[in-house]
Chain A
Amino acid sequence: MKTFKIGGVHPPENKLTEHIAIEVMPVPAELAISLNQHLGKPAKPLVKMGDEVRKGQLIGQADGFISANVHASTSGKVKAVKPHPHPGGQYAMTVFITPDGKDEWAEGMNTEPVDWKKFSREEIIQKIKDAGIVGMGGAGFPTNVKLSPPPDKSIDTIILNGAECEPFLTADHRLMVEYPKEVIAGLDIIASLFRGEAKSFIGIESNKQDAIDTLKKHAAASGIEVVSLKTKYPQGAEKQLINAITGRTIEEGELPFDKGCLVQNIGTAVAIYEAVCMNKPLIERVLTVSGMEIGQRKNIMARVGTTFKDLIAFCDNMSAKTNQIISGGPMMGKAIFSLDVPVVKTTSGILFLNNTALEKSKERTCIRCGKCVDVCPQGLGPWLLANVAQMREFDDIQLYGLANCTECGSCTFVCPSKRELVHWIKYAKALVNNRQKRKSA
């Protein structure tokens, strides 16, 4: 079984929702659609208070090269445009829509599926751009930018990321089992952009045998190789996945296309299929609502902009013991600070936990046991980065590979001294950034 070469951990899998079918959530009483659902500059609002919008209508225009369009998730009236809490932890400009209940599509959207083969490469990329598709695994990098690498780089390997290595999350798993045709079609569209010269892979962790079987059956005709990967975190991290499947290593400062690779998420592939063949913008996504403290664990197809409060009500409320709500997976997700935060394009799951280990300043000193070095998939010394950050010695910290850390959380997971290693590294990145900004100013 294939896997990445160095490091990795195996946290309890807790895939509690892997056999629960995707349930479509009705449109809630109010939608809060954030204009910052992607990496890069937030979208420019195109609507104002009182405007009528149709489902799929463009309400946020991509602002710059690295940015993405935002569409209305249902038809209704714009109630307000104002800053609002964002699952990323900050505030972001948000369009509030009061649905009119008709859920009417805008002109020419959500048509009967057509054959994508009649579109040219430029048309496909334009359609993906118009639909506001971003990487749905978590980072939210605009997909049209990722699909247009510099002309001097040749892509020979396309990988669809079905590893879903984060504990609890099963959104991609359910998509692969329930929508295999769309997944394969999405991958075929991506492959066609590289004139069929590239070999396509789908990497899936071995704990999702039903998904592997289903996709193998559907992929047989189109020459796609379904690769079974060892169940190990972070198998689904871009660099680790490339290493596991092709054996290539992405060095510091390199991007996947430098090594001829392109990685896309399962959800993104389905969104690409829908955008190209059905002219449907990215206005809903599958996410996992799980954790020990939620009444009913579900895989939900929810509209972008559904608030966590509405999701909790839909999932039979959380217990009073909940002390931590995480947007994303437990390893890389962020604890949210308000139940008003909305689902965005990158929300892969929401976890309701009773984390008994939570206490203020539980950190102890580093005992130099070296466990974090063993598990770091990037081959770094997290203890060193964290200790140097704690001492505020930012002059040389780049030499220790600060920029190479992907913040996967493996080191924090194994640390016996309960040190917040990743948090220290994020802290160091923020301060190094601040220094450079001040220097150039």
Chain B
Amino acid sequence: MISEAFIPAVSSLGAVALTLGVIIHYVSKKFHVEEDPMVTIVNDILPGVNCGACGYPSCGQFAEVLVDTKDSSMTCPVGGSDLAAKLGETLGITMAEPKPQIAVLLCQGDNDTAKETAEYLGIQDCWAATQAFVGPKQCRYSCVGLGSCIAYCDFNAMSLENGLVVIDKDLCTGCEACISACPTGVLVMQEKKAERYFIACNSHDKGAATKKACEAGCIACQKCVKVCEDNAIVIENFLARIVQEKCTACGKCIDVCPTKVNCIRLENDLKAVKQKKAS
């Protein structure tokens, strides 16, 4: 009969299950690790993207250390001030206000302004291209324009437009994942501000060489240095740099910049600057 066939199978499996159940129960009691429930709560508040911007490999690790040390200087750059307030409330401490950072591309050499070296037919990736030669653009400091960094962005903040990487300032959380993915080092982190001027060029070549390779390059002419009333612009190694702490965003430097496509850029408002030059 069927039942006769079932009885030994069910009873033997049942016995095995029961024995194992008892063992598991015993082991879990014996080796129980007391976990702070706070870690789970904090972990749930965190963005959970494991981007590593805080310096820890994952959000879980960050939560563990934060709950353990209650160090108020620890910040999650991705979450911003909202998250800091929430974390502080949960833990009963005042968290430091994180300085929001944003990835900035120091290059304006798109397919129109930068001169091409040669037709590149190999693997369409910045690292592969720079292994073969200087890159599709003559300027060796430029954005290679094949978008290796885009794949590393967890927040879909990057896209490729006319041979240049464009960063969406609202989506960028400042996690720095793209910085190490760039072979020419043309991507840098800067503090996020409502209005901010910066030199969108990375070329350390002498003026003539820069101009030969790109119409939007800084030729280190010193005009912006002379006009700046705050002494916020310095020239280092044939490249101007705006010292953000001194800059009052008066915009005088933009008017004097002689390069065809202005190498000084106002964040938030690139298009307006370009139009101004054309008219």
Task: State yes or no: do A and B come from one complex.
Answer: yes
Q: Tell me whether A83 and B127 are in contact in the complex, defined as CB-CB below 8 angstroms, given that A89-B132, A337-B118 are known contacts.
A: no
Question: Is A361 a contact of B124 with CB atoms below 8 Å?
Answer: yes
Question: Is A363 a contact of B205 with CB atoms below 8 Å?
Answer: no
Question: Is A338 a contact of B123 with CB atoms below 8 Å?
Answer: no
Instruction: Report the Cα distance A85→B130, complex, angstroms.
Output: 14
List 27 A-B pairs, Cβ < 8 Å: A82-B206, A83-B205, A85-B134, A91-B140, A334-B132, A335-B118, A335-B132, A337-B133, A338-B118, A359-B121, A362-B121, A392-B151, A420-B122, A420-B128, A423-B122, A423-B123, A423-B131, A424-B123, A427-B123, A427-B131, A430-B130, A430-B183, A431-B127, A434-B127, A434-B183, A435-B180, A438-B180
A76-94 residues at the B interface, CB under 8 angstroms:
82-83, 85, 89-91
B118-159 residues at the A interface, CB under 8 angstroms:
118, 121-125, 127-128, 130-134, 140, 151
> Which residues does chain B contribute within 8 Å of A334, judged by CB atoms?
132-133
Minimum Cβ distance to chain B for residue A440 (Å): 13
> Which residues does chain B contribute within 8 Å of A392, judged by CB atoms?
151
Q: Which residue of A lies closest to B130 (CB)?
A: A430
Question: Is A83 a contact of B180 with CB atoms below 8 Å?
Answer: no
Minimum Cβ distance to chain A for residue B272 (Å): 35
> Which residues does chain B contribute within 8 Å of A360, judged by CB atoms?
121, 124
Question: Is B117 a contact of A83 with CB atoms below 8 Å?
Answer: no
Question: Is A338 a contact of B117 with CB atoms below 8 Å?
Answer: yes
Question: Is B123 a contact of A335 with CB atoms below 8 Å?
Answer: no
Minimum Cβ distance to chain A for residue B189 (Å): 14
Q: Which residue of A lies closest to B124 (CB)?
A: A361
Q: Which residue of B lies closest to A325 (CB)?
A: B118
Question: Is A423 a contact of B134 with CB atoms below 8 Å?
Answer: no
> Is residue A15 within 8 Å, beta carbon to beta carbon, of the partner chain?
no
> Which residues does chain B contribute within 8 Å of A427, judged by CB atoms?
123, 125, 127-128, 131
B191-245 residues at the A interface, CB under 8 angstroms:
205-206, 209
> Is residue A320 within 8 Å, beta carbon to beta carbon, of the partner chain?
no
Question: Is B125 a contact of A89 with CB atoms below 8 Å?
Answer: no
Contact of A337 among B117, B122, B123, B183 (CB under 8 A): B117
> Which residues does chain A contribute within 8 Å of B206, judged by CB atoms?
82
Question: Is A82 a contact of B123 with CB atoms below 8 Å?
Answer: no
Minimum Cβ distance to chain B for residue A433 (Å): 10
16 A-B pairs besides A89-B133, A434-B180 with CB distance below 8 A are A82-B209, A90-B140, A91-B140, A334-B132, A334-B133, A335-B133, A337-B117, A360-B124, A361-B121, A392-B151, A420-B122, A420-B123, A423-B122, A423-B123, A427-B125, A431-B127
Q: Which residue of A lies closest to B122 (CB)?
A: A423
Instruction: Indicate the member of A82, A83, A335, A427 with the most B CB atoms within 10 Å.
Output: A427
> Which residues does chain B contribute within 8 Å of A336, judged by CB atoms?
133
Q: Which residue of A lies closest to B182 (CB)?
A: A434
Question: Is B205 a contact of A423 with CB atoms below 8 Å?
Answer: no
Chain B proximity mask over A83-120: 1 for CB below 8 Å, otherwise 0: 10100011100000000000000000000000000000
Chain B proximity mask over A312-349: 1 for CB below 8 Å, otherwise 0: 00000000000000000000001111100000000000
Q: Which residue of B lies closest to A437 (CB)?
A: B180
> Which residues does chain A contribute within 8 Å of B117, judged by CB atoms?
337-338
Instruction: Report the Cα distance A430→B126, complex, angstroms.
Output: 11
Instruction: Report the Cα distance A423→B123, complex, angstroms.
Output: 8
Minimum Cβ distance to chain A for residue B3 (Å): 53
Chain A proximity mask over B160-183: 1 for CB below 8 Å, otherwise 0: 000000000000000000001001
Instruction: Report the Cα distance A434→B182, complex, angstroms.
Output: 10
Contact of A363 among B123, B131, B140 (CB under 8 A): B123
Chain A proximity mask over B235-274: 1 for CB below 8 Å, otherwise 0: 0000000000000000000000000000000000000000
Question: Is B128 a contact of A423 with CB atoms below 8 Å?
Answer: yes
Instruction: Indicate the member of B118, B124, B131, B183 with the most A CB atoms within 10 Å.
Output: B131
> Which residues does chain B contribute within 8 Å of A361, judged by CB atoms?
121, 124
> Is residue A426 within 8 Å, beta carbon to beta carbon, of the partner chain?
yes
Question: Is B134 a contact of A91 with CB atoms below 8 Å?
Answer: yes
Minimum Cβ distance to chain A for residue B109 (Å): 16
Minimum Cβ distance to chain B for residue A403 (Å): 16
> Which residues does chain A contribute within 8 Å of B183, judged by CB atoms?
430, 434
Chain B proximity mask over A290-310: 1 for CB below 8 Å, otherwise 0: 000000000000000000000
Instruction: Report the Cα distance A438→B124, complex, angstroms.
Output: 24
Instruction: Report the Cα distance A368→B133, complex, angstroms.
Output: 30
Question: Is A423 a contact of B127 with CB atoms below 8 Å?
Answer: no
Question: Is A83 a contact of B209 with CB atoms below 8 Å?
Answer: yes
Of all A-B residue pairs in the complex, the 5 with the closest CB atoms, nearest first, are: A89-B133, A337-B118, A427-B128, A337-B117, A426-B131
Contact of A430 among B131, B133, B209 (CB under 8 A): B131
> Which residues does chain B contribute within 8 Å of A424, judged by CB atoms?
123, 128
Q: Which residue of A lies closest to B128 (CB)?
A: A427
> Is residue A358 within 8 Å, beta carbon to beta carbon, of the partner chain?
yes
Minimum Cβ distance to chain A for residue B144 (Å): 13
Instruction: Report the Cα distance A435→B130, complex, angstroms.
Output: 16
Q: Tell me whether A90 and B133 are in contact in the complex, defined as CB-CB below 8 angstroms, given that A337-B118, A420-B122, A434-B180 are known contacts.
A: yes
Question: Is A337 a contact of B134 with CB atoms below 8 Å?
Answer: yes
> Which residues does chain A contribute within 8 Å of B133, judged by CB atoms?
89-90, 334-337
Instruction: Report the Cα distance A335→B121, complex, angstroms.
Output: 11
Instruction: Report the Cα distance A392→B150, complex, angstroms.
Output: 13
> Which residues does chain A contribute within 8 Å of B180, judged by CB atoms?
434-435, 438
A262-294 residues at the B interface, CB under 8 angstroms:
none
Minimum Cβ distance to chain A for residue B177 (Å): 12
> Which residues does chain A contribute within 8 Å of B128, judged by CB atoms?
420, 423-424, 426-427
Q: Which residue of B lies closest to A427 (CB)?
A: B128
